[in-house]
């Protein structure tokens, strides 16, 4: 939900400032951050849906029409629309893959999921102490009372941090590749038309 809210605010800001100098929140670099977060949410959410359907748990099947429509728009149509928007708005400059770590966007992209994991852990612990077990852990892989691997919460959190860091970097490299492909394609057409 937080990524969706951040995306809405970013999109409003981006549309309002579409013709101004691109820096900060309206930069191509920050657009990659937003895109990366949305890809992660898209993949995790739909993996969770498939996971629960394979367990024959009927939580997903109990959605009302409104919940189903909201879920479809929020976790399917919106991320795919952003990817489409990405194709039409990127390719303004060529990025070097070796400069990936020189831009702040990659660090911001990694920081949010890490802070979210810490938040979920603290919230889950508070819920568990209050006996409110059902909503304590939003995703099965973030159930720190019953980790997928091992028994140590700290080691499991470290493993999740490493996995998500590698995953985010791969997403970022993929987005750089798309950007650079669009840049080269666009400049090739300009040279060809001259």
If you average pLDDT over residues 123-137, what whole number do you get?
85
Tens digits of per-residue pLDDT, 45-72?
A: 888 777 777 766 556 667 788 888 888 8
Tens digits of per-residue pLDDT, 79-102?
A: 888 888 888 878 888 888 888 777
| Residue 1 in this model has a pLDDT that exceeds 60 | yes
Residue with tokens 């490299």: 173
- Residue 154's pLDDT is what? 94
- Residue 160's pLDDT is what? 95
Four-point Cα dihedral 159, 164, 167, 173, nearest 10: -130
Q: What residues make up the domain containing 42? A: 2-193
CA 136 from centre of chain: 21
CA distance 27 to 30: 5
If you average pLDDT over residues 146-165, what whole number do you get?
93
| The total number of structural domains that make up the chain | 1
């Amino acid at each position: 939900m937080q990524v969706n809210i951040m995306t809405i605010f970013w999109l409003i800001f981006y549309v309002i400032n579409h013709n101004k100098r691109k820096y900060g929140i309206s930069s191509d670099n920050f657009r990659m951050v937003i895109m990366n977060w949305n890809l992660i949410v898209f993949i995790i959410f739909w993996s969770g849906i498939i996971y629960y359907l394979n367990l024959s748990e009927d939580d997903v099947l109990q959605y009302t029409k409104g919940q189903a429509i909201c879920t479809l728009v929020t976790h399917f149509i919106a991320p795919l629309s952003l990817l489409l928007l990405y194709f039409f708005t990127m390719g303004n400059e060529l990025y070097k893959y070796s400069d990936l770590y020189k831009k702040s966007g990659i660090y911001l992209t990694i920081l949010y999921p890490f802070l979210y994991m810490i938040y979920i852990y603290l919230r889950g612990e508070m819920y568990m102490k209050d006996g409110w077990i059902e909503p304590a852990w939003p995703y099965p892989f973030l159930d720190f009372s019953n980790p997928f691997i091992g028994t140590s919460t700290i080691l499991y959190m470290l493993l999740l941090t490493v996995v998500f860091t590698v995953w985010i970097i791969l997403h970022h490299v993929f987005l750089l590749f798309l950007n650079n492909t669009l840049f080269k394609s666009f400049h090739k057409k300009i040279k060809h038309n001259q």
